[in-house]
């Protein structure tokens, strides 16, 4: 399977070897200082950046990142959910270098590129969209932004005025451009931009058991004004891995079909195998009018996203040259040739090497391991999961602060790179993760939760062992996983 070149290397042994090497901490601190002096990191308070022990990556091998001091970390967040097969996959490396020998980039505005055509043809055979047409961009938020504009202009081109509202869910996250934060719910600091956000029809998200009933009712009541439903099928990832049942998603999409409302599926996070199928829409039997893809499309190599439009949507934009039906939208690097080449090679690997079967096997293993070793720990409220997208919701005691950050920091110190969403620890390992690596990640996470719980336990008390399935005593990092 691609990306397996370091599968036999344990996290702890690698981290321990780096720690024994000596001058690592000083070197890492110097790079953090240089970083903070010139780089502005997204979703990061730069005044506190250096205090939070950031990892400054120098290189990678397989599913492991290696920092500037030589310490190794299992990439349990897939570098923010983009890496699928691991880092430095030989076939993907070759795709980039082969394309470099041809051309790195040429504009797609009014012209074409051979490898982009080949990628679109390959995607057309697998996306759950009827008669698909592909508008490429560089990131997921832009793919959503494109879908919003396409949905609005679709109705305008058809001569149907007033279709200027979108149905969106509570707890939704669709990116951080103005349009995407409008259909997204509040949170992640977006409140400051409320004056810029346009109004939407908002119904509850997946945390509400009756979310689908509310969404269907909203479609029925507002269909004459709705341009589209915008939905993350199955998993609201950035809200802490809130999950829905496929039949509920299908029911809401069916209501849109019955009332002539377009369906936009945002699969930026769930696309390309994360849920055990190539696209989450497949679990729901959906054929959306517009599909937004990003993150894993290039296997984590280069920035690329795409908005996929069904043929009936695309036809509404056909007309006289430079006429009003034209979609006047496009980006300088949309359809970049290097990104297209690696995306094409990546898609072929997903189809060839049993990757999705591994996702389903490792997802079931992860489910059982979290249930046995994490769900019953003090300070754990809930475990949520779909495929290899999982969230462990923490429940800190009164006075306990920043548990998500502290638990992830403890895991990083033990050689497993994690990142929280508030007090939800998110697990998004690569699709090629091995059984041994799943066990390592869960063991390190359980120990990290136990350590933080012990720090905040009242005087004279101790955290209990790791849940109904046993595990490691609270505060103890398992042997073989110490940094």
Mean pLDDT along residues 369-392:
97
Model confidence at 23, pLDDT cuts 50, 70, 90, reads low
Confidence bin at 471 (pLDDT 50/70/90): very low
Q: Report the CATH fold assignment for 11-88+355-456.
A: 3.90.1150
pLDDT digits (tens, 9 = 90+) for 174-219: 999 999 999 999 887 889 999 999 999 999 999 999 999 999 999 9
Taking residue 86's Cβ as centre, other Cβ atoms within 10 Å add up to: 27
d(CA 296, CA 347): 10
Predicted pLDDT at 483: 27
Is the confidence at residue 5, as pLDDT, over 80? Answer: no
Distance from the first to the final alpha carbon of the chain: 28
Quick check: 366 pLDDT over 50? yes
Average pLDDT over residues 148-169: 97
Using pLDDT thresholds of 50, 70 and 90, give the confidence band for residue 461: low
Give the mean pLDDT of the chain.
Answer: 91
**Torsions phi, psi for 416 (to 5 deg):** -125, 120
- Residues of the chain above pLDDT 70, percent: 90
- 433 pLDDT higher than 90: yes
473 pLDDT higher than 50: no
Model-level pTM?
Answer: 0.91
Helix pair 355-373, 337-352: axis angle to 10 deg = 80
pLDDT grade, residue 398 (50/70/90)?
confident
Q: How confident is the model at residue 459 (pLDDT cuts 50, 70, 90)?
A: low
Indicate if the pLDDT at residue 388 is higher than 60. Answer: yes
- CATH 3.40.640.10 segments of the chain: 90-352
- Looking at residue 190, its pLDDT comes to 87
Q: Is the pLDDT of residue 355 over 70?
A: yes
The 10s digit of each residue's pLDDT in 133-154 is 999 999 999 999 999 999 999 9
Q: What burial letters (b/e) apply to 368-389, b meaning 16+ CB within 10 Å?
A: ebbebbbbbbbbbeebbbbbbb
Residue 442: pLDDT band (50, 70, 90) is: very high
Helices and strands (H, E) in the chain, number of each type: 15, 17
3-state secondary structure of 136: strand
Q: Which runs of consecutive H residues, i.e. helices, occur in 197-334?
A: 211-222, 246-258, 280-284, 311-315
Q: How crowded is residue 125: how many other Cβ atoms within 10 Å of its Cβ?
A: 9
Average confidence (pLDDT) over 357-369:
98
Residue 378 has pLDDT above 80, yes or no: yes
Alpha helices in 137-185 (DSSP H): 140-157, 178-183
Beta carbons of 199 and 116 less than 8 angstroms apart:
no
Distance CA 175, CA 138 (A): 13
- Convert the pLDDT of each residue in 315-343 to its tens digit: 999 999 999 999 999 999 999 999 999 99
Going by pLDDT thresholds of 50, 70 and 90, the confidence category of residue 10 is: very low
**Structure token pair of residue 339:** 């990104």
| pLDDT computed for residue 4 by the predictor | 61
User: For position 468, what pLDDT does the model report?
Assistant: 33
Residue 467 has pLDDT above 50, yes or no: no
In tens, the pLDDT along 242-254 reads 999 999 999 999 9
Instruction: State residue 460's pLDDT score.
Output: 56
Q: Is the pLDDT of residue 470 over 70?
A: no
Within the chain, all domains assigned CATH 3.90.1150.10 are found at 11-88+355-456
**Fold type of domain 90-352:** 3.40.640
The H-or-E segment that residue 419 falls in is: strand 419-421
Question: Under the phi-then-psi rule, with left for phi > 0, alpha for psi from -120 to 50, and beta for the rest, what region is 332?
Answer: alpha
């Amino acid at each position: 399977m691609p990306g397996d070149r370091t599968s036999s290397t344990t996290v702890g042994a690698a981290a321990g070897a780096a720690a024994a090497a000596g001058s690592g901490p000083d070197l890492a601190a110097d790079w953090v200082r240089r970083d903070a002096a010139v780089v502005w990191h997204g979703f990061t308070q730069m005044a506190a950046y250096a205090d939070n022990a950031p990892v400054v990556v120098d290189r990678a091998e397989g599913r492991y990142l290696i920092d500037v001091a030589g310490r190794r970390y299992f990439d349990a967040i897939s570098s923010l959910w983009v890496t699928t097969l691991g880092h430095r996959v030989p076939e993907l490396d070759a795709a980039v270098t082969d394309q470099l020998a041809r051309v790195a980039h040429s504009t797609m505005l009014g012209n074409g590129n051979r490898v982009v055509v080949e990628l679109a043809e390959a995607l057309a055979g697998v996306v759950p969209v009827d008669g698909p047409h592909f508008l490429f961009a560089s990131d997921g938020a832009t793919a959503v932004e494109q879908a919003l504009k396409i949905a609005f202009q679709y109705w305008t081109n058809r001569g149907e005025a007033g279709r200027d509202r979108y149905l969106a869910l509570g707890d939704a996250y669709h990116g951080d451009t103005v349009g995407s934060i409008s259909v997204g719910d509040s949170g992640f600091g977006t409140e400051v931009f409320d004056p810029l956000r346009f109004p939407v029809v908002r119904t509850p998200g997946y945390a509400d058991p009756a979310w689908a009933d509310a969404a269907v009712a909203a479609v029925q009541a507002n269909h004459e004004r709705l341009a589209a439903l915008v939905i993350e099928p199955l998993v609201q990832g950035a809200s802490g891995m809130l999950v829905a049942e496929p039949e509920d998603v299908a029911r809401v999409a069916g209501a849109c079909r019955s009332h002539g409302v377009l369906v936009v599926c945002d699969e930026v996070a769930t696309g390309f195998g994360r849920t055990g199928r190539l696209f989450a829409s497949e679990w729901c039997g959906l054929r959306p009018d517009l599909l937004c893809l990003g993150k894993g499309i290039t296997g984590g190599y280069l920035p690329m996203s795409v908005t996929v439009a069904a043929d009936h949507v695309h036809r509404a934009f056909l007309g006289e040259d430079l006429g009003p039906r034209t979609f006047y939208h496009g980006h300088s690097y949309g359809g970049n040739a290097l990104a297209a080449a690696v995306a094409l090679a990546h898609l072929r690997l997903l189809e060839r090497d049993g990757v999705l079967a591994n996702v389903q096997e490792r997802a079931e293993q992860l489910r059982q391991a979290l249930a046995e070793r994490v769900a019953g720990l003090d300070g754990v409220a809930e475990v949520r999961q779909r495929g290899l997208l999982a969230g462990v919701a923490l429940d800190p005691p009164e006075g306990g602060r920043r548990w998500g950050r502290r638990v992830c920091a403890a895991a990083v110190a033990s050689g497993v790179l994690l990142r929280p969403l508030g007090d939800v620890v998110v697990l998004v390992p690569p699709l090629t993760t091995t059984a041994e690596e799943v066990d390592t990640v869960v063991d390190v996470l359980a120990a990290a939760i136990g350590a933080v719980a012990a720090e905040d336990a009242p005087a004279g008390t101790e955290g209990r062992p790791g849940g109904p399935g046993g595990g490691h005593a609270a505060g103890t990092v398992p042997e073989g996983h110490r940094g």
